[in-house]
Amino acid sequence: MRLSRGLGLNWIKLLSRIYFAIVGLAMVACTRPYDITVVPGVSGAIVETIYVATQQTPSVVGAFSYNDRITQPQFARVDVTIPSTHAPGRIETAHDVGGGFTMASYRPKSQAEYIEGLAAAPGDEILLFMHGYNSTTTEAVFRLAQIGYDFDIAGVKSVFSWASAASPSAYVYDRDSILFARDDLTQLLTAVSRGSDKRITLLAHSMGAQLTMEAMRQLAISGDDHVLADIETVILLSPDIDPDIFRRQVEVIGDRDNPYVILTSGTDRALRLSSFLIGGRSKVGQLDAARDVEGLNVIMVDLTDVSDGGHGDHMVAATSPSAINLLRQISSKDMLVQSGLLLE
């Protein structure tokens, strides 16, 4: 069957819009550090220690290169250096005046050593970060180091790096990788809970929020209530989750003392594209999904007014200097209400 000329042109225009949207997201990433390379930091640099659990395997010679979807997670302790000229929200590179983020050390660990490191570190809280779609392990490590420093997080910090293809065109591959990662994250949370008496905070971005909720759902189904009880706070940054799925996840997980905290922006271009790719359905991280989560134990924080356009406004809480400055000053729900950021 031959398409009419007008219909054919409409399809061409549609595909062009999709293509340029994807290319636009790719440009957000700029230079991609696909390999982990150990490089000494510049003089006077700040050091942030990050523990790593990853589904990608580093090579044993030269730079640490990664391969996708291994069956056994690998573990490490990394020292990240941050230049003294660091500006809030940024991950500086070697091209910046004053130097950039580097990995000054990368020390492979066994799972037992990884757990022991978390338990022995100062503080009574473990922050575990799940990155989003189109992300490398190095980017996730640098991002958590940046968040830890900019928000002055005193507790021990760790990344769970699932097997993202780190390609803007691999959205479907990454969604499948979330399903692949569920068991490993569930097992890791169980091991951390058993091996430490610290409370756990989960910080998840974009597609990583889907992974986080699925892991918690599996814990609930398995009857691991003691692990869920150790997870004190769940923070979802621009969650790429269908509202119906999120509601079902919350219902299965059951009652929690603390609400799920969702930070979002009305100008999030990445979630707009994600929504388009699945037929226009809203995602939990979009402002118009607020009515879809009514009745759930959720706090939605609207960061639209402090969005700055960086990174497609897909991670405003961590990349906008204005958002960082404002959020650092909020220590209670009352202060959140007074700030005008709470989405009722």
* 5-34+50-78+110-339 fold: Rossmann fold (3.40.50)
pLDDT at 306: 84
pLDDT at residue 331, rounded to an integer: 67
Please tell me the distance from the alpha carbon of residue 239 to that of residue 247, in angstroms, as a whole number. Answer: 13
Give the residues across from 302 on adjacent strands.
264
Whole-prediction pTM: 0.86
pLDDT of residue 21: 46
Q: List per-block mean pLDDT (blocks of 10 residues) for the chain, which spans 344 residues.
A: 45 46 42 64 90 76 57 92 95 90 93 98 96 91 96 95 86 92 97 97 97 98 97 95 94 95 87 81 77 86 83 87 87 69 70
- Rounded to an integer, what distance in angstroms lies between the CA atom of residue 201 and that of residue 93? 29
For 121, the token pair is 């570190």
Residue 290, SS3? helix
**pLDDT tens-digit series, residues 273-294:** 888 877 778 888 887 667 778 8
* Predicted pLDDT of residue 34: 47
pLDDT at 277: 76
CA–CA gap between residue 43 and residue 102 (Å, rounded): 12
* Angle, helix 269-277 to helix 5-29, in steps of 10 degrees: 140
Q: Provide the CA 339 distance to its chain's centre, in angstroms.
A: 24
